[in-house]
C-alpha cells in the first residue's frame, strides 16, 4: 500500500495494490476509484483532500489477527 499527498494540487492518492488499471469510476466530482480487470479496487484519488480528510494528522496501525 502506498499513500501519496500532492500538496501543490491538494490531491490524496491511495494505492492498495500495484496493478494495471483498466477502469476508472467517479464516485463523486472529487473522488476517483481505479479498478483492475477483475474489478478489484487498486487505488483511490481524492481532490480537495485537506477539506475532506485530516491530512496533517495521519497514523497507521496494523492490528494482529
pTM: 0.80
Residue 35 lies in a domain: yes
**Residue 5: φ, ψ to 5°:** -120, 125
Contacts within 8 Å (CB) and 24+ apart, 1-7: 3/58, 5/49, 5/55
7-59 per-position pLDDT tens digit: 899 999 999 999 999 999 999 999 999 999 999 999 999 999 888 877 667 77
Instruction: Count the domains in the chain.
Output: 1
Residue 16 forms part of a structural domain: yes
Q: What is the pLDDT of residue 41?
A: 95
- pLDDT of 27 reads 93
Residue 65 lies in a domain: no
Domain residues for the domain of 19 are 2-52
Residue 31 lies in a domain: yes
9 within a domain of the structure (yes/no): yes
Is residue 19 one of the residues assigned to a domain?
A: yes
- Map residue 31 onto helix, strand or coil: strand
Is 46 domain-assigned?
A: yes
Amino acid at each position: 500500500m502506498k499513500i501519496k499527498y500532492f500538496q501543490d494540487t491538494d490531491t490524496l492518492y491511495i494505492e492498495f495494490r500495484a496493478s494495471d488499471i483498466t477502469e476508472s469510476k467517479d464516485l463523486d466530482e472529487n473522488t476517483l476509484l481505479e479498478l483492475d480487470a477483475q474489478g478489484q479496487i487498486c487505488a483511490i484519488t481524492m481532490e480537495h483532500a485537506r477539506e475532506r480528510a485530516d491530512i496533517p494528522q495521519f497514523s497507521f496501525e496494523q492490528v494482529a489477527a
